[in-house]
């Protein structure tokens, strides 16, 4: 029996490519998966694709609204009694203009999608983990967090902030049995990325399955002494 059997796992962004792959991997390890995203129809499609017999729930949630996130966390605890793991996979990318030409709306969109969403889930879930004696949190940053790129200022800044937030959370809870880490993917091999970059060498990109493997590692006993880490997963790019 897997050590993840019967663990209650929340996966935000579960309707997307990486989120759905991660949900499937946790499900195959026997975990109970809670699929969280703003698009219920797509969440239900992901739920139907999970292996037979898996315990799962779909909770439509607006991660940019604290009340919606709080309601989601309360619903999970009401149904399952606890939250063991949260994988904060929700996020996104848009190429922007030059920084001095970036509008407030464009800046806020990246900060909200990539950072505020994690801030909201942390505020909702950590008190429950403290009450239950621990947990694991995995956030998704990006390779671009380590080096600013032209016309990507808002995106790079938001993903860099994810690293800093991860480190702060890890420092605050290192004696609470709550491990907090983040992953820095290179270009992820997803249908939208292939559509945007059809002429790229996709074989050098990072498969979603490889990232899911790292997420599972960070939620396993093998990573019990790992917290506050920002782990590069660049593939061959």
Burial class of residue 81 (count of CB atoms within 10 Å of its CB; 0-12, 13-18, 19+): exposed
Would the CA dihedral through 161, 162, 167, 171 be positive or negative? positive
Structure tokens at 126: 């950590």
Is 80 an annotated catalytic residue? no
Closest C-alpha among 104, 119, 101, 124 to residue 161:
119
DSSP summary character for residue 90: -
217, exposed or middle or buried, with CB in 10 Å at 0-12, 13-18, 19+? Answer: middle
Q: What percent of the chain is helix, strand and coil (3-state, nearest 5)?
A: 50, 20, 35
Contacts of 165 (CB under 8 A, 6+ apart): 115, 118, 119, 122, 139
| Structure token digits, residue 33 | 């998966």
Tokens standing for 142? 């990006």
- Helix or strand run (H / E) with residue 230: strand 230-233
Q: What is the largest CA-CA distance in the chain?
A: 55
From 155, 169, 182, 230, active-site residue:
155
Q: Which residues are catalytic?
A: 155
């Amino acid at each position: 029996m897997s050590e993840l059997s019967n663990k209650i796992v929340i996966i935000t962004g579960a309707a997307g490519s990486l989120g759905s792959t991660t949900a499937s991997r946790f499900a195959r390890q026997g975990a109970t998966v809670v699929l969280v995203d703003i698009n219920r129809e797509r969440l239900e499609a992901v739920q139907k694709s999970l292996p037979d017999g898996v315990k799962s729930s779909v909770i439509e949630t607006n991660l940019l609204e604290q009340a919606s996130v709080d309601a989601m966390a309360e619903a999970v605890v009401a149904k399952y009694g606890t939250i063991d793991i949260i994988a904060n996979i929700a996020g996104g990318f848009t190429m922007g203009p030059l920084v001095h030409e970036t509008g407030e709306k464009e800046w806020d969109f990246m900060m909200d999608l990539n950072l505020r969403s994690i801030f909201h889930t942390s505020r909702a879930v950590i008190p429950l983990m403290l009450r239950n004696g621990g947990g694991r949190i995995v956030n998704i940053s990006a390779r671009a967090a380590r080096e600013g790129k032209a016309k990507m200022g808002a995106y790079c800044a938001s993903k860099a902030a994810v690293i800093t937030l991860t480190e702060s959370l890890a420092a605050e809870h290192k004696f609470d049995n709550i491990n907090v880490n983040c992953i820095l993917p290179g270009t992820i091999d997803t249908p939208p990325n292939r559509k945007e970059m059809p002429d790229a060498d996709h074989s050098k990109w990072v498969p979603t399955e490889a990232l899911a493997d790292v997420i599972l590692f960070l939620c396993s006993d093998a990573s019990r002494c790992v917290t506050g880490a920002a782990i590069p997963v660049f593939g061959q790019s």
